């Protein structure tokens, strides 16, 4: 990991800091052109294109009859996994469900002198959930993306995942997935957006994926709604001299093992902690089964920034706007007012990010690549739409019609004015 000193007035212009903060824009035009081609082929040829791309990119031969995973296979997967994993999935499911039930929005109507105004909150009818299926199994991703949709009242949930495994299928069974398809990549997102002979068209696509998936979601936004353009995972840890170096290092590596493009960042006013954490990262790396992936991530994006104090550390965090922000300091709650931009904030030395990934309850589908400045975590609110309700009686009409006429005239829209005036006569 590279140690960078930010204890100077022009720290915001530091090259390494800008590199880390702007890593969300590393997607190249080369990828975009390829994704556009895949989308066009799926739109034109449907299942035929899905089968071709699945064999080419995932090495799996499908037919129209085998694209979908039989419903009974989900139950078999649930019954086949060990009792400990099954229990863990069920506990996580209940905690995630309990948290997200607090997010449910209500419809309302308000009456005032002959005018009835309100809002209806209506669940989406059908959503698609993308679950990665490359180098690891992700039952937690299934739970985090499906449970809020179920709580919101979505009628049909379509899951797509390349090379489904028993753990993700078991999580799909527990959480209430309607149908599962053995497809991934940009082609799966396109299939959900347009629909094919086998895969139904959805109203919204949610869930993380690789660069091809992120680009496909971005390019298809408007054809279908999306949650966010999620890139590689990242964690930023703010720590002071009270933090244990091995604990901080393990938290940094928990993100590095996700992906070669993941970012692990420490921001601290303690030079001593910076050196010790770097040593611990190098030591612990050698013990990881996914060492090769984590090492590439650490070598490319792993960075330790040394600041003047913890307030500057918060300013650095706000500039980067990380997906996960851990605060491991003597008084972590004292820093919360200074933190503006983060997907999720983990306060205290025992609140390690992996707990949030699996069992605490808040959603782990979070904005990445600096988009925490304007995106929020996935939630129940992502699976509903709102309709305004308006009713006006004669009494209410007389109360506001004159003002509407004045504004219509000011805007030069005569038919608007006439629609009101004709009723006043």
The candidate with the shortest Cα–Cα distance to 151, out of 179, 121, 131, is 121
- The three-state secondary structure class of 365 is coil
Contact 138, 414 (CB under 8 A): no
323 catalytically annotated: yes
The candidate with the shortest Cα–Cα distance to 319, out of 345, 344, 341, is 341
241 catalytically annotated: no
**What are 173-199's pLDDT values in tens digits?**
999 999 999 999 999 999 999 999 999
Q: Hey, what are 278's tokens?
A: 């770097």
* Residue 131: pLDDT over 80: yes
Q: Hey, what are 152's tokens?
A: 């919101």
What are the boundaries of each domain within the chain?
2-24+232-373, 46-228, 393-424
* Residue 135: pLDDT over 70: no
**What are 30-68's pLDDT values in tens digits?**
688 899 999 999 999 999 999 999 999 999 999 999 999
Q: Residue 424: its pLDDT value, please?
A: 87
- The model's pTM is 0.92
**What are 217-227's pLDDT values in tens digits?**
999 999 999 99
| Other CB atoms within 10 A of residue 271 CB | 14
The candidate with the shortest Cα–Cα distance to 69, out of 175, 159, 193, 185, is 159
**What are 310-334's pLDDT values in tens digits?**
999 999 999 999 999 999 999 999 9
Given the residues 295, 323, 349, 353, select the one marked as catalytic: 323
Q: Residue 25: its pLDDT value, please?
A: 67
The number of CA neighbours under 13 Å toward the Cβ of 18 is 6
* Residue 270: pLDDT over 90: yes
Taking the C-alpha atoms of residue 260 and residue 293, their distance in angstroms, rounded to an integer, is 5
Share of residues in the chain with pLDDT > 90 (%): 90
Write out the H or E segment, with its range, that includes residue 237: strand 234-239
pLDDT class of 134 with cuts at 50, 70, 90 = low
* Residue 29: pLDDT over 70: no
Q: Residue 263: its pLDDT value, please?
A: 95
- The whole-chain average pLDDT of the chain stands at 95
Q: Residue 393: its pLDDT value, please?
A: 97
* Residue 115: pLDDT over 90: yes
- The three-state secondary structure class of 195 is coil
CATH architecture, range 2-24+232-373? 3-Layer(aba) Sandwich (3.40)
- CA distances to 243, 251, 343 from 331, rounded to whole Å, are 11, 19, 21
Q: Residue 27: its pLDDT value, please?
A: 52
Q: Residue 232: its pLDDT value, please?
A: 83
| Other CB atoms within 10 A of residue 270 CB | 18
Given the residues 93, 100, 258, 324, select the one marked as catalytic: 324
Q: What is the CA radius of gyration of the chain?
A: 25
Compare 210 and 91 and report the one with higher pLDDT: 91
Taking the C-alpha atoms of residue 112 and residue 50, their distance in angstroms, rounded to an integer, is 55
* Residue 23: pLDDT over 90: no
* Residue 26: pLDDT over 80: no
> Beta 384-392 vs 115-123: how paired, if at all?
antiparallel
361 phi, psi to nearest 5 deg: 130, -50
What is the edge-to-edge ordering of all strands in the sheet holding 263-268?
2-5, 303-306, 263-268, 234-239, 324-328, 344-347
**What are 370-421's pLDDT values in tens digits?**
999 999 999 999 999 999 999 999 999 999 999 999 999 999 999 999 999 9
Share of residues in the chain with pLDDT > 70 (%): 98
CATH of 46-228, one of 3.40.50.300, 3.40.50.1980, 3.40.50.1220, 3.30.450.80: 3.40.50.1980
- The three-state secondary structure class of 207 is coil
* Residue 346: pLDDT over 80: yes
């Amino acid at each position: 990991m590279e140690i960078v000193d930010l204890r100077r007035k022009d720290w915001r212009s530091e090259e390494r800091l800008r590199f880390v903060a702007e890593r969300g824009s590393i997607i190249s035009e080369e990828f975009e052109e390829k994704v556009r081609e895949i989308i066009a082929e799926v739109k034109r040829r449907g299942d035929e294109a899905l089968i071709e791309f699945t064999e080419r990119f995932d090495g799996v031969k499908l037919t129209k009859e085998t694209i979908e995973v039989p419903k009974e296979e989900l139950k078999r997967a649930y019954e086949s996994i060990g009792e400990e994993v099954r229990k863990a999935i069920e506990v996580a499911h209940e905690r995630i469900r309990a948290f997200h039930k607090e997010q449910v929005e209500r419809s309302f109507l308000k009456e005032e002198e002959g005018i009835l105004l309100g809002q209806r909150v209506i669940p989406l009818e059908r959503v698609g959930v993308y679950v990665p299926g490359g180098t690891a199994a992700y039952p937690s991703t299934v739970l985090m993306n499906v449970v809020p949709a179920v709580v919101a009242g979505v009628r049909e949930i379509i899951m797509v995942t390349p090379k489904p495994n028993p753990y993700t299928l078991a999580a799909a069974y527990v959480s209430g997935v309607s149908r599962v398809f053995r497809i991934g990549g940009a082609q799966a997102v396109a299939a959900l957006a347009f629909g094919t002979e086998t895969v139904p068209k959805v109203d919204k696509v949610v869930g993380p994926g690789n660069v091809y998936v992120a680009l496909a979601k971005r390019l298809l936004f408007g054809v279908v709604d999306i949650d966010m353009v999620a890139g590689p995972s990242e964690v930023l840890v703010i720590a002071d001299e009270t933090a244990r170096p091995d604990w901080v290092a393990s938290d940094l590596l928990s993100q590095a093992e996700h992906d070669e493009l993941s970012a692990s960042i420490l921001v601290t006013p303690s030079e001593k902690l910076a050196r010790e954490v770097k040593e611990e990262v190098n030591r612990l790396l050698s013990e990881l089964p996914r060492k090769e992936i984590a090492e590439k991530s650490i070598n490319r994006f792993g960075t330790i920034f040394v600041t003047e104090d913890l307030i500057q550390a918060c300013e650095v965090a706000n500039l980067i706007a990380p997906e996960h922000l851990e605060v491991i300091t003597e008084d972590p709650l004292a820093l919360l007012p200074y933190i503006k931009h983060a997907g999720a904030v983990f306060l205290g030395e025992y609140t390690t990010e992996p707990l949030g990934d699996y069992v605490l309850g808040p959603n782990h589908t979070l904005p990445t690549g600096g988009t925490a400045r304007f995106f929020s975590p996935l939630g129940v609110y992502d699976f509903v739409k709102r309709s305004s309700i308006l009713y006006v009686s004669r009494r209410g009409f007389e109360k506001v019609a004159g003002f509407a006429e004045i504004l219509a005239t000011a805007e030069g829209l005569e038919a608007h004015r006439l629609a009101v005036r004709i009723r006043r006569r």
